[in-house]
Structure formats: C-alpha cells, structure tokens
Amino acid sequence: MDSEQILHAKDESLAHLKRVYGDEAETVIADARYGFISGLLKDVLKKPAIDRLTLSDRIDKVVLNRWLGIPIFLAILYGLFQLTFTLSIPFMDWIDKGFGWLAEPASGISPAWLGSLISDGFIGGVGSVLVFVPVIFLLYIGLSILEDSGYLARAAFVMDRLMHRIGLHGRSFIPLMLGFGCNVPAIMATRTIENPKDRLTTILVTPLMSCGARLPIYALFAAAFFTAYQGLVVFSMYAIGITLAIIMAWIFRSRLVKGEGGHFVMELPPYRLPTIVGVLTHMWERGRVFLVRAGTIIFSVVVFIWLLEYLGALEPIGRAIAPVFTPAGFGQWQAAVTLIFGILAKEVVVGTFGILFAVEEGALGETIATQLGWTPLIAYAFMAMSLIYVPCMAAIAIIKRETNSWKWPGFVIGYTLVLGWLVATLIYQIGRLFV
Amino acid sequence: MARKEITIALAGNPNSGKTTVFNNLTGARQHVGNWPGVTVEKKEGSLSYEGYHIKVVDLPGVYSLTAYSLDEVIARDFVVDENPDVVVDIVDASNLERNLYLAVQLLEMGAKLVVALNMMDVAESRRYQINVKELSRLLGAPVVPLVATRNQGTQELLQTVVGVVKDNIEVTGMRLQYGREVEEEIAKLEKVISNNSLSKKYSSRWLAVKLLEEDKEIIKKFEEAQVG
C-alpha cells in the first residue's frame, strides 16, 4: 500500500484515539506497558512490609491508609474549623466593639441621610463583613499550613480512589481544595489538569467548594443559632459542598462530558515543616483579596444597596422574588434581597442584612432571628442556599474566560440555582418533620 | 561439531551492570569502535562456548526504545537491522518496575529475548522476593538470575543463550494489549501496512504501534519508502 495512504490512516487513527481518550495515543500505549508491568509485578515481586521507612513514609502509612485516609482528612478539616472559630472570637469582639463605638456618634451626623449612609451603610454594611476578617485570615493560615506541609497533596491522593470511581482523577482535587480559599484561583488552577474533559468537569463543580467569602454568612448564623456547635455547623457546610461537588462531577462526567479520563501517577512530595514566613505570605496572598474586595466591590455594592433601601426600592424587589423561597423556609423579602445582591459577591449577603436591620454587628444574628422569626432549621437551609446558588460574578467571569464561551458559565448559574433551591428546600421540609 | 557463529546484543538501562556483564562474558577479547556515522562508542567482544563463536555487541544503555534520543535509535536499529540471534536484556532486580519497560519493548519488537536478572544480591539484601519462574512465564522469555559483580550466573546465562539458539528454549514473548480502542486502530493500520515494503523487514503490528506513538524514525522510513 502507498505510504501516503498509510500516514493518512495513521493521522485518522490518532485523531480518533485523541477523541476517545482525550490523550495522545503515545501516552495511552506507554500506560498499557506500565500497566502490564505493574500487574506482572503483583504476581512476581514481594517486597518486605517494613522497607526502611522514612518518617514521611511512616506518616503516609497512616494518613494514606485505605480506611483511615478519608476520616483523617475530614477530622483535619473539622479541627481546622473548630480552631479557626475558637481563636477568632476575641479578635471579632474587638472589631465589633470598635464599630459599635464608631456607630454611635455617626448616627448623629446631620443631614440625616449622611448619618444613615455612614452608620447603616458603611458601618452596618461593610462593617458587618469586616468583622469576619479574623475568621477568614485564621482559616487561610490553616489552609496554608496544610498546603505547605505537603498534606494537601495527600488529601488529593486519598480522594484519588474515590475520584476515580466517579471518573475523575485525584489531580482534580487540588484545585477543588484551593476553592476553599477562593473559587477564582481554583478555577485557574484547573489548567494543571491535562485531560480537557476532566478539566471542564472540575471547573463546573469548583463553585460548590465553599470559599472564604461565604464564611461570614456561616459565621453570622452559626453564632446566632448554633452557639455550642458553631464549628460543627460550619464544617458541615464545607462537607455538603465537597459531597455535592463529587456527586455533580460524577453526573457531569457520565452524562455531559463523557470519555476516558487521564492517567497519571499522583506525585507525593515529602512532608516539610512549613515556615512561618511562608505560611504568613500565603495567608496574606489569599486574605489580601478579601480586604481589597471589602474596600472596593463590597463597599460600592453596599452603598448602592443602601441607596435602594433609602429610596424604599429594596422591599418591592425582595417581595417579587421571596415566594420562590417559601418552600425552603426563608420566604421573607429581606432574605430574597440579600440573595439577589449576594450574586455580586457572597459577603454582600451579610452586608445587606447589616443595612436592612441596621443594628450593631454583635446583635445582627439575634435581630434576624426575632424579626424574621427564623429557627435554626431555616438558618441552616439559608446557609446551604448561600453556599450552593450562583457563585459570585468574579467566578462566573473566570469560568467564561477559561472555557471561552458563555455556554458553561450560563450552565453553572442555572444548575447551581436549581441545586441550591432543591437542597435548601429538602433541608427545610425534611427537617420540619423532626424539629 | 562445526564452529558456529552467533551474535548476541546486550541491552539494558544505564547502571544495570551491563558493562560488568559484558566484561564477564568477553574478558579481554574486546574492541571499541564507533557506531556507523555517529560518535557513540560501540563495544564488541567475543568468546567461544560449546563450539559456538559468540560475538557480543554492547548496545548503548537506554530506558526505552523510542526515537527521542540517538542512543535509543542506535539500540533499536541494531536489534531490527542486524537481527542478532539473541538479545540479552540486563535488568536491575532491585528496580524491576523501571527496568522491565525496556524488556517489554524488546519483546514487542519480536526480539529473541533473554532476561538477565542482575543485582540479585541487592534485591536480596532488601529482602525482595522475586518469583523468577513466574516472571519468565509472564514475559514469555527465559530469565536468568545474575550477580555480575561476583561473576555469578554467567555460565547459566550462556547456557540459556545457546539453548535459545538451538531452539531448546522457547521465546514465545507476550502480546501486550493496548486497550480495545487502540487495538482496533492497530488492526486497521496493520491492514494498510501489510502491502508496504517496510513490512518485509518489520512486523506490521510493531510498525502500527510505532505509527500510533508518532515515532519520528518510523514515519521517516515510510516517507522514504514512498520516494524510493
């Protein structure tokens, strides 16, 4: 046969294999060889159980254990949240007192609208968000320690088995974990995933990972409604996020973006003692964004919302939407308003509550409870809704940029809205049967 | 018995003890030249064993047989073009996983392979238990344990090599399955390749795999075959 025809047939085969595997045929063939060898060695080679273990190996034996791996990972996360909350309480009290001290003279400023803008808008709105800066920074310190020590790579390795079962690779888990900080860099980090289908799936579910901006919402309601179980309640939000991300990834991977996944060896870097400078640098890199947002987007959005409130336009907007949320328990117009503006940035949910109720930050949670008649169950359903529904504008914009089309950000907005409503409604309706 | 000439090629990863095995086999009867056209050193030696005159060619130490490096191309071309009677792959028994990659590739080429399992002492000191019989069965090639640094196993290796030449020992090889989709494409390509002049020299399955690996050298050979 003519060589030209052969080379043409080769190109066709390669294109076909690339479509099927999402990977170069060369890689698939090399993997087949390694697969053959590792299968063969299972029968042929026995290594002693104790093979001169390094400290790293010894830690890994426990941390990567088939049965203990995931519980340990969850326990570490839980411990992280408990610690974050316990340590941040005194700092939050100081900031709260500081704003309270500022609010009193501010409300006396004339003309009255300026006094209202400063005390209700700035202090009530931006202040209620800034109160949570200590929680966020402490959480970021914890995340940085996990990352710098090498544990995050282990968490990905542990999740690898589970991820494989849902058709994703453990490598997808690192961007997801980064999503705890902020979804935007997490979505950008998916570039390390070589398989385009794995990457798209990861991008689609990353918004379900609870980011730092959602933390103030949990912190606000956990403190007001779940005093004794704050850490546990907030941890459960993160757990819901991870669980949903995994379920949705499985659904997307098996229905929407079918095809073979990538095959990689999971790299496990040796453990390192994190340095203080390194941890603080990472904390600052992540936390800085939050402060900048508070000073820019949150600030301007809050002023805008204050203006609408001052003009009496918030209530009609809220009333138009609120009935949708009645099945989920939070059908009050105030809740609807906070959720609408929360799309701009999730912290705004708290800021908007601050404007609407114009009370001292420390009392905001209780005020919501009494004025809206919320129970812990409703607060919990609302927290779940806040976690799941539409990530912020910045995340939507980055999804558009990374997928290079409006199709996928549109899809994310749609599915997270429906999913958030469903989960919140389920929590409320099922919870009502027991409470 | 008439003196018979046979050629064996020594393949193996760098640091697998290939040079030591070469010295054990050939002793002082060595000469060093260059591979044709390139400045890569080519070592040859010879010995007599059981009435055979055995020429031993030391191939460059490589991990793989792709077309990415000159060493790999030289090693591969020698196995294909010179068609040695036996290819002895020196394998580091203490690092089987990486070393067997080359053995698998040699078997894919259809080489008459004998695996020399070197550094058995290192493997033993690490208390690795290697089931030599099972390894041989799964690879479809004879496996001979060696400790080249103590010149242990050299006689057994020579016996096995001669056994293969005499057809007393069979090298069946193994047929690696690359996965359903890849196998379908290999079958398609094999069909179009089978009439090409290159398939007289190389197995069409191997050519098909190499094409799918986008092997520069093989693609070049096809392009040249077209001109010629």
Contact B178 A21 (CB under 8 A): no
pTM for this predicted structure? 0.57
Looking at this predicted complex, what is its ipTM?
Answer: 0.93
Residue of A nearest to B213 (CA): A26
pLDDT for the residue A265: 47
Domains and CATH numbers, chain B: 4-165 (3.40.50.300), 180-227 (no CATH)
3-class DSSP string for chain A: CCHHHHHHHHHHHHHHHHHHHCCCHHHHHHHHHHHHHHHHHHHHEECCCCCCCCHHHHHHHHHCCCCCHHHHHHHHHHHHHHHHHHHHHHHHHHHHHHHHHHHHHHHCCCCHHHHHHHHHHHHHHHHHHHCCHHHHHHHHHHHHHHHHHCHHHHHHHHHHHHHHHCCCCHHHHHHHHHCCCCHHHHHHHHHHCCCHHHHHHHHHHHHHCCCHHHHHHHHHHHHHHCHHHHHHHHHHHHHHHHHHHHHHHHHHHHHHCCCCCCCCCCCCCCCCCCCHHHHHHHHHHHHHHHHHHHHHHHHHHHHHHHHHHHCCCHHHHHHHHHHHHHHHCCCCHHHHHHHHHHCCCCHHHHHHHHHHHCCCHHHHHHHHHHHHCCCHHHHHHHHHHHHHCCCCHHHHHHHHHHHCCCHHHHHHHHHHHHHHHHHHHHHHHHHHHHC
| Window from B55-59, B72-76, B155-159 with minimum mean pLDDT | B72-76
- pLDDT cut 90: percent of chain B above it: 55
pLDDT digit string (tens) for B9-25?
A: 999 998 888 989 999 99
Which residues of B are less than 8 Å from A46 in CB distance?
A: 128-131
Contact B211 A43 (CB under 8 A): no
Of B105, B127, B225, the CB nearest to A48: B127
| Window from A413-417, B12-16, B209-213 with minimum mean pLDDT | B12-16
> In the predicted model, what is the mean pLDDT of residues B72-79?
90
Residue A50 has pLDDT above 80, yes or no: no
pLDDT digit string (tens) for A320-357?
A: 999 999 999 999 999 999 999 999 889 889 989 988 88
CB pairs under 8 A between A and B: 115
Residue A52 has pLDDT above 70, yes or no: no
> In the predicted model, what is the mean pLDDT of residues A411-427?
97
> In the predicted model, what is the mean pLDDT of residues A128-145?
84
Of A2, A24, A32, the CB nearest to B179: A32
Residue A30 has pLDDT above 70, yes or no: yes
pLDDT for the residue A266: 54
| Highest mean pLDDT, choosing among A293-297, B62-66, B162-166 | B162-166
| Window from A150-154, A255-259, B89-93, B175-179 with minimum mean pLDDT | A255-259
pLDDT for the residue A197: 83
pLDDT band at B120 (very low <50, low <70, confident <90, very high): very high
Domain ranges across chain A: 3-63, 70-434
Contact B182 A38 (CB under 8 A): no
| Highest mean pLDDT, choosing among A394-398, B109-113, B141-145 | B141-145
Residue A53 has pLDDT above 70, yes or no: no
Residue A263 has pLDDT above 50, yes or no: no
Residue A360 has pLDDT above 80, yes or no: no
Residue of A nearest to B102 (CA): A33
- pLDDT cut 90: percent of chain A above it: 29
- pLDDT cut 70: percent of chain B above it: 96
Residue A212 has pLDDT above 70, yes or no: yes
